[in-house]
Amino acid sequence: MKPNLMMRIWHFYADGFKNMNSWGKQVWVVIILKLFIMFFVLKMFFFPNFLKTNFETDEQRSEHVLDNLTNTK
């Protein structure tokens, strides 16, 4: 029985990671840690949800966005 494509891809990467030497695994840990910091930690502190905090309804949010997009200052 032939496993489906997703399982074959999963096994390919899992086997590759198992057979990787120790410095390669450390590099992947650093990469994953950097991605976590960039996408989760930085987003929480430096990119707050401006529209949700400053406007109550979707109509107010869409009006604000439309005004800013069409404003020709």
Residue 3 falls inside a structural domain:
no
Residue 26 to residue 39: CA distance in whole angstroms: 20
Residue 35 falls inside a structural domain:
yes
Residue 1 falls inside a structural domain:
no
Using DSSP's 3-state secondary structure scheme, residue 7 falls into helix
Residue 1 has pLDDT above 60, yes or no: no
pTM listed for this prediction? 0.52
**Candidate from 24-28, 38-42, 45-49 with smallest mean pLDDT:** 45-49
* pLDDT mean over 29-55: 86
CA dihedral 18, 20, 23, 28 (to 10 degrees): -70
> What does the pLDDT look like over 22-31, one tens digit per residue?
999 899 999 9
Residue 13 falls inside a structural domain:
no
Domain that holds residue 42: 22-70
Residue 12 has pLDDT above 70, yes or no: yes
Residue 16 falls inside a structural domain:
no
Residue 9 falls inside a structural domain:
no
Residue 38 falls inside a structural domain:
yes
CA dihedral 26, 27, 29, 34 (to 10 degrees): 150
Predicted pLDDT of residue 43: 81
CB of 28 closer than 8 Å to CB of 17 = yes
When divided into structural domains, the chain yields a total of 1
